[in-house]
Structure 1
């Protein structure tokens, strides 16, 4: 179980490094849609912030509680709101918000006792282990990081910072 916890913590730590490396993008590169009908890098990174905050405030505190998990937010509304904010916020502010929220999440994950990562929870109609819940969130991260990587490669943009997370 310790191995799974370490892998999850490593991903969240690496995701911070990856997003910090995006400071190298110009404002134009940051705000350019990665594909027709898709978000910009700014919007992709910006949408992680309220979701991480949701996990921090509306999921983790209920893992070891007898209380039911609070209902999740309206996905489209939350994504639209975060997209709007990221489009209108400076790149540095969005990255800083992401890093701060993700660090808080990392701290909370680190505080989950190793022997509790196998505990099961019920979310709606789904029954899953805590580690499976976070593995699902990691897959979501990696999906978007790969989209960003593909966009950067198409544009011939090479980041100086080591951002190896995109290839995992």
Structure 2
């Protein structure tokens, strides 16, 4: 996938998430199933991982520096994102924050050279930046499909 397609796909999620401002607050926090996340958790999860990409991936690519050596605790990042949704932040504030962070990510992606999307990632010789973002887009789409299915099921009930 090329740079323009990646940016357009990542941009498309903004409108979909913005439309969630109209759902009820009850549905916003309701888990998809017993012991799982709800819509609010997923939006906070998007923010956490967009911020991770900004801080630990894109900023290094912009400076042509290798990624920092670090242990990535996926579960802790996800737990913190879920806790954040229950910290008193409103639905509107969380959605606005998602839009702001996603727009920053897109702005930084736009600063990368088109050719960088075809180059191997530092330390990942068999993965290009384009491949990496295809995976991130699929991740976004999986979560948004889960949200939309959940909303549809609960509006019919």
**Normalising to structure 2: TM-score of the pair?**
0.90
CA distance in 2, matches of 1:106, 1:37: 33
Q: Number of aligned residue pairs: give it.
A: 154
Partner of 1:31: 29
Give the drift of 1:87.
Answer: 2.3
Deviation at 1:116, TM superposition (A): 1.9
Aligned 8 A contact 1:58 1:70 in 2: no
SS of the residue 1:36 aligns to: coil
The RMSD of aligned alpha carbons is 1.8
Give the aligned partner of residue 84 of structure 2.
85
Structure 1, gaps ≥5 residues long: 158-168
Deviation at 1:69, TM superposition (A): 3.3
Gaps of 5+ in 2: none
Instruction: Determine the C-alpha separation between the residues in 2 that align with 1:30 and 1:130.
Output: 33
Task: Considering fraction of residues, name the structure with more helix.
Answer: 2
Q: How does 1:18-97 map to 2 (within 5 A)?
A: 18-63=16-61, 65-88=64-87, 89-97=89-97
How far did residue 38 of structure 1 move? 1.3
Aligned 8 A contact 1:42 1:91 in 2: yes
Go from structure 1 to structure 2 and tell me whether the alpha carbon gap of 1:81 and 1:68 turns closer, same or farther (over 3 Å shift): closer
1:111-166 CA distances to partner (integer Å, 9 max, x unpaired)?
1111221011144x663101001111111111111110110111127xxxxxxxxx
